Every structure is written in C-alpha cells, then in structure tokens.
C-alpha cells in the first residue's frame, strides 16, 4: 500500500538528496533487553515460534547471554535479539527510545495468533488497524511492546520457515516489520532520518508519522511520535536497545556512515561482530541506531542445521569458556506445543 507524500513535511533540498544517496534497504535486526533468559526463550521460541539461530554472549558483558531469534536461516531483517539482564530495573517509558517492535505475519493469520497467544496467557491488546493493516499489539513477559502486523508486502521477502517451530509455516513470523520511536521533537529526528539516512515521509495517522526507505514495504519503515510532554525514557528490562539498519557491505557502510556524520551524528568505528560488521550512533532524539552489514551471516561459524546448539564465543573469549558457561544460566529449549 502506498501513501501520499505530505508536501508540507518535505525537507528542503540538502547536499545529499535521498535519490542520490545510497540508503539502507531496511531493518537488519532489533536488539532489546529482557528479564531471565529462559523466560525469554520460552516466549520467543516456544510461543512466537521463532528459531533461536545463535546463542552467544554480550561481547561487552560476557557473563550475559546474547540470544538471536530469526527465521530458519537468519536472513538479515528477520532477526530480533536480546540481552537478558535479569537483575536490571524495568524500562522507564518516555522519549528518546524505540518503544515497540512490530513483527510481520501473513495476511489472515491474526485469528490463529490471537487464539494461540490467549492459550499461553499472553497480555494481548485490542486489535487495531494501522495505515490499513491489521495489527495485534501484545506485551512480552518482560514488558516489551510487540505488535504482530498482517503484512501483505512481507510475503515477497526472503524467508525460510523453521521446521522445528511449534507454529505452522503458513502462520510463522516472516521478519521484522517495523519499530516505533518516541521523540522529544519529531521535526529534528525526521530531518536526520531524511537528510542523513535517505528516509522519506509517508504520512501520519493517530499521531504516528511514518518514514520509509525503499518502497516503504515490510521492514522498510519506522513510525515516529511526538512525546515531548513526557520525560526522557531510560533503558531497562522490556526496552528496545537499538535498531540496526542493513548495509550491503563495508563500502556501503562507509558511505552511510559518512552521510550520518554529515547530518550531525557521531558514529563509532567499525566493530567486527563476526556475523556482521557494525557501526553505532544515536539519532538526535537519542534512539541508538546501528549500521550492520548483510554478511557474512550466522552460518559463518555454525552449520545452519545445528544453529544455537552450542554457546558461540568470540575467539578472544574462548579461553574463558568454562568460566562463562558456569556463569550463564542453563537453557532448555521449549518443547513444540
């Protein structure tokens, strides 16, 4: 579905116009903070039926897991990851944070999902329509807002169903649909999205301003809302830590890194995350962004048939494997229901 461009919110021409700029093709992954790891696994693999494609540790805090859920192959754009920091205080709502992850489900599947979520006692909100699409909002076990979106354009995305999922292939989550961002100034954040990253304005509905890259299809947009009346939000369990955007390769990453720098951001140097290379920066409203390369991908260090069966550690932590495995909680894969 296409939305008219609101001329009133178009940015004035800037040195790097979106059509000349090589922008991101969409979301790469979203990372969030959860409570206890087993509860997180039970929900995302056991209830939502996503595949745990990688079990690793937070590279900056190796006593904490880093759990990656995606489609069967871990395609870029399907990946929702968590740092389970069980001892952390709950998130504080407010501006400067991404406040909801939406996940694409096939058109017509929300009846299935609604029944399934109720059966597992999930906190499900009232069904909504957003920009013409059916949406089921819910809250995960640690307070994070998640929305399932019946997304017609998700059907054209690269997706491999997970045969070990408790959810039938026809209803499985197809990838990241979008995210919501609460901002102190929509104008300032929108200017950055447009001038620095090549987004364009698609329209407004119920206070949410939609900005997209590419065609604005599944995985290619964010919804931004003015929350200037609130206080600044703070990370905690149940909060979204960062939104990662896809770049094709090192060269493309350098190009977009330069573009966001020109728009006023202060990106980090390139950090090798082994499954992709990353650059981090905050957009002007405070939401942490990442630019992540599509490759090499999750199969670089594990056979896809055996994803996440063992704890994967970066090479410099291998010598501490025994100590790390003693500290992180033992995880049991949920049984297919």
Contacts to Zn ion by CB under 5 A: 31, 244, 290
Cα–Cα distances (Å) from 207 to 106, 183, 186, 210, in that order, read 26, 12, 10, 10
Q: In the complex, what is the shortest distance from the CB of residue 4 to Zn ion, in angstroms, rounded to a whole number?
A: 33
When CB distances to Zn ion are compared, the closest residue is 244
- Nearer Cβ to Zn ion, position 162 or 280? 280
- Nearer Cβ to Zn ion, position 30 or 122? 30
Which residue intervals of the chain are DSSP H helices?
Answer: 37-41, 110-119, 186-197, 250-262, 321-327
| CA within 13 Å, CB half, 60 | 4
- Nearer Cβ to Zn ion, position 81 or 220? 81
- Nearer Cβ to Zn ion, position 266 or 330? 266
- Nearer Cβ to Zn ion, position 177 or 290? 290
Q: In the complex, what is the shortest distance from the CB of residue 96 to Zn ion, in angstroms, rounded to a whole number?
A: 18
Q: In the complex, what is the shortest distance from the CB of residue 244 to Zn ion, in angstroms, rounded to a whole number?
A: 4
Q: In the complex, what is the shortest distance from the CB of residue 111 to Zn ion, in angstroms, rounded to a whole number?
A: 33
Of 141, 144, 104, 102, nearest to 233 by C-alpha is 144
Q: In the complex, what is the shortest distance from the CB of residue 25 to Zn ion, in angstroms, rounded to a whole number?
A: 16
Q: In the complex, what is the shortest distance from the CB of residue 177 to Zn ion, in angstroms, rounded to a whole number?
A: 18
Number of Cβ within a 10 Å radius of residue 134: 18
Rounded to whole angstroms, how far apart are CA atoms 122 and 125?
10
- Nearer Cβ to Zn ion, position 195 or 290? 290
Side by side, the strands of the sheet bearing 27-34 are: 51-58, 61-70, 79-84, 27-34, 240-247, 288-293, 277-282, 271-272
**CA dihedral (100, 106, 108, 110) positive or negative:** negative
């Amino acid at each position: 579905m296409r939305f008219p461009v609101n001329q009133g919110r178009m940015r004035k021409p800037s040195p790097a116009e979106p059509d000349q700029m090589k922008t991101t093709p969409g979301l790469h992954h979203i990372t969030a903070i959860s409570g206890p790891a087993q509860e997180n696994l039970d929900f995302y693999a056991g209830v939502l039926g996503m595949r745990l494609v990688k079990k690793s540790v937070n590279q900056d805090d190796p006593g904490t897991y880093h759990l990656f859920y995606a489609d069967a192959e871990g395609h870029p754009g399907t990946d929702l990851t968590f740092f389970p920091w069980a001892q952390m205080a709950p998130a504080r709502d407010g501006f400067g944070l991404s406040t909801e992850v939406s996940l694409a489900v096939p058109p017509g599947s929300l009846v299935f999902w609604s029944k399934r979520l109720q059966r597992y006692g999930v906190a499900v909100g009232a069904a909504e329509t957003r920009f013409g699409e059916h949406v089921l909002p819910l809250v995960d076990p640690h307070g994070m807002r998640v929305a399932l979106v019946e997304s017609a354009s998700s059907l054209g995305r690269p997706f491999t169903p997970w045969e070990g999922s408790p959810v039938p292939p026809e209803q499985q989550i197809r990838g990241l649909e979008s995210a919501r961002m609460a901002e102190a100034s929509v104008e300032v954040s929108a200017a950055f999205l447009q001038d620095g990253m090549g987004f364009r304005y698609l329209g407004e509905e119920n206070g949410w301003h939609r900005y997209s890259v590419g065609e604005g299809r599944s995985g290619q947009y964010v919804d931004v809302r003015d929350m200037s009346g609130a206080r600044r939000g703070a990370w905690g369990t149940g909060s979204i830590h960062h939104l990662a955007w896809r770049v094709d390769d090192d060269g493309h990453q350098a190009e977009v890194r330069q573009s966001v720098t020109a728009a006023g951001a202060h990106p980090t140097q390139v950090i090798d995350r082994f499954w992709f290379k990353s650059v981090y920066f905050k957009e002007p409203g405070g939401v942490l962004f990442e630019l992540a390369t599509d490759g090499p991908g999750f199969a670089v260090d594990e056979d896809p048939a055996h994803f996440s069966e063992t704890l994967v550690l970066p090479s410099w932590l291998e010598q501490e494997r025994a100590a790390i495995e003693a500290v992180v909680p033992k995880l049991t894969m949920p049984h297919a229901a």
